[in-house]
Structure 1
């Protein structure tokens, strides 16, 4: 009988949890995906790169939503059981309240393990792969980014100005400044006309395989090259091709802190503890140590606040729907649990500033769990269900 009750409670909870998590994840992902449109409209990446990058950010969204979704799902499940008098059926069938609290706590541990898996492994790997997709992608939408009588600097180190652009894609009076030349300070190209052409090229790493790349084809112009010794050379041309694949967009291609795997971040912390440094660029840890510590605390510590949420929500089991304070009590419990999540989110941002902040951040969950669990035992022990 008890196993049937547990199975029924778990099924109802997990169904609601999955529904809310998927729904909120879709909403947040859509809003986030709109912000990523800059990769297409401003940086010139293909739509396939945009969709791939957006989809690979889903694990991060799920990980951030899990604590709040768990709170709402568990609260709603217990309130629904109370409303339908199903909790009363549980008590009359001999189920002890503290046993249900223990079962809810076990569920919270499972959710905690799931979030730990996301935050420690799946999410960083997914974000890192998403960044590598941006890094390896070419600027395929460069033609649509070039506007008439506007200086375009979408491509890193390259500024393009076109006086007029015809409907067929032909550009008139093209000005181009290239600041990426290795043996020159800068290179300026002025041409009467030009157009963007997609050609199939054979890279050295894949002999026999053609890949499409964009070329800027210019006609009737002059190349002005300023050497590093301040000498200027002029070269007239009838036609010249510029491979746009050799240029990079201004999109950030190096991994951010949250995109590094957990082991790499731990390796950044280890030398710091031994050498007392604030940055470790020689260890490929260009970020500040307090930021790295805060990110590690978010991955390891934030999931630990889920079990305390389950204990706080279980205070609803001690209430009676007939009580005049029941209406206020459920809101107080929700606000308390929500405040704990907000506090944890704020604390994790400052937990890397000092060892004391980290100790407090990790000490609060077990301490609050123990105190509230003992308090629930005390409440249930002296509670009279007939009142």
Structure 2
């Protein structure tokens, strides 16, 4: 690679990393709001919140990287034009491929990184995140016992614990059970603990009483006890084997789902698999769109606002049908071929524009004007 190409490589790599970081940060902040429910309602630490949100980042990268590539190429080329660096290159007789080759190499590298995230890092990260969230929500201590707070584990049940000791003992227990309007009861105990039994989890309360209203007159009844066991087995309902979500499944699992998976869901799996294989190609498409917009035409002393606007329209025009093809593939697997053909057509067409002789003639005829004027 020549010195000019190395220079172009550095000029594009810097903005690429910057835009990737910014886009990731913005989307990460919006996505992290979904984890606040786990952190707040399950009394988790800030460290757990950060860990869970970081695990979700790989899911965003295959979508972010092509856009970061587009913005980086557009920014770098526009700046080089504004500072007349590219004009000097053209006037010195350099081919436009001195500029295009580094862009293509970076786009190929970004595509490879996109495949790495899409096929390996994303499913691994999402699986770990979902497993951790499942464990947190299944943890009875965090769900049921929160020191100094009134909690509502399920509708109609209110729990308060004044102190939660490290050894597992809890003190100052109040349980108000209003799940059955005809049998509302309040339990109070000096101490207790959570225990797992062969028949399910139990809250064992010591030295307390249970209070309820009886009869039409609503007379208060109080029953003192030395030990009372409160059934918590209902909290384990629905917490059996966790069903993996689409984002955490490996590619071979998407293409070969279990026989018990319904046909409609199978098609969604197939569409997701093809999306992971075709999505990273848009890094090349977006890079070529930005390159053609600024390199594939005449020099313009008044700037390239119009071309940049058209580049944005072309970018959305290239990507939105890709999302549509994925939706159609989820209904008809035969549509999967368009998920690859569409970006491939864009790549071939844009490369044709770059190598077409007409553009080379236009460039030679008009690119050197600013240098001549400044001489």
Q: Indicate the TM-score class for this superposition, using the shorter chain for normalisation.
A: 0.7 to 0.9
Aligned to 1:313: 290
Aligned to 2:39: 40
Aligned to 1:256: 245
Aligned to 2:226: 238
Aligned to 1:94: 93
- Residue 39 and residue 166 in structure 1: after superposition, are their counterparts in 2 closer, same or farther (change >3 A)? closer
Shift of 1:124: 0.6
CA distance in 2, matches of 1:335, 1:307: 16
Aligned to 2:278: 301
Paired residues for 1:109-128 under 5 Å: 109-128=108-127
CA distance in 2, matches of 1:146, 1:344: 52
Shift of 1:70: 1.2
CA contact (8 A) 1:45 1:141 kept: no
CA distance in 1, matches of 2:237, 2:97: 59
CA distance in 1, matches of 2:30, 2:190: 36
Shift of 1:43: 4.8
Root-mean-square deviation (CA), in Å? 3.9
CA distance in 1, matches of 2:177, 2:124: 42
| Residues 153-188 of structure 1, C-alpha deviations (whole Å, 9 max, x = no match) | 17xxxx6235xx58667354632769xxxxxxxxx9
Shift of 1:347: 2.6
Q: Which runs of 5+ in 1 are unaligned?
A: 179-187, 204-212, 223-234, 269-279
Shift of 1:90: 2.4
CA contact (8 A) 2:202 2:232 kept: yes
CA distance in 2, matches of 1:75, 1:196: 67
TM-score (norm 2): 0.76
Partner SS, residue 226 of structure 2: strand
Aligned to 2:265: 288
Partner SS, residue 240 of structure 1: strand
Aligned to 2:73: 74
Q: Which runs of 5+ in 2 are unaligned?
A: 164-170, 212-222, 367-375
Q: Would you tell me which structure has more helix in proportion to its own residues? A: 2
Aligned to 2:205: 217
Shift of 1:113: 0.7
CA distance in 1, matches of 2:353, 2:174: 79
Aligned to 1:361: 339
CA contact (8 A) 2:173 2:192 kept: no
CA contact (8 A) 1:36 1:50 kept: yes
Aligned to 2:52: 53
| Residues 312-364 of structure 1, C-alpha deviations (whole Å, 9 max, x = no match) | 22221134453568431221122212321233233323323223421112112
TM-score (norm 1): 0.73
Shift of 1:104: 1.8
CA contact (8 A) 2:205 2:228 kept: yes
Partner SS, residue 382 of structure 1: helix
CA distance in 1, matches of 2:78, 2:346: 23
CA contact (8 A) 2:127 2:248 kept: yes
Once structures 1 and 2 are overlaid, which stretch shifts more, 47-56 or 294-303?
A: 47-56
Partner SS, residue 383 of structure 1: helix
- Residue 107 and residue 84 in structure 1: after superposition, are their counterparts in 2 closer, same or farther (change >3 A)? same
CA contact (8 A) 1:216 1:244 kept: no
1:328 paired to 2:306: yes
Tell me which of 319, 325, 349 is aligned to 1:371: 349
Tell me which of 192, 215, 221 is aligned to 2:187: 192
CA contact (8 A) 1:172 1:192 kept: yes
CA contact (8 A) 2:59 2:247 kept: no
- Residue 385 and residue 39 in structure 1: after superposition, are their counterparts in 2 closer, same or farther (change >3 A)? same
1:8 paired to 2:7: yes
- Residue 72 and residue 126 in structure 1: after superposition, are their counterparts in 2 closer, same or farther (change >3 A)? same
Once structures 1 and 2 are overlaid, which stretch shifts more, 370-379 or 168-177?
A: 168-177
Once structures 1 and 2 are overlaid, which stretch shifts more, 80-89 or 371-380?
A: 371-380
CA contact (8 A) 1:29 1:58 kept: yes
| Residues 220-263 of structure 1, C-alpha deviations (whole Å, 9 max, x = no match) | 349xxxxxxxxxxxx99532355969944989953211111222
CA contact (8 A) 1:161 1:175 kept: yes
1:267 paired to 2:245: no
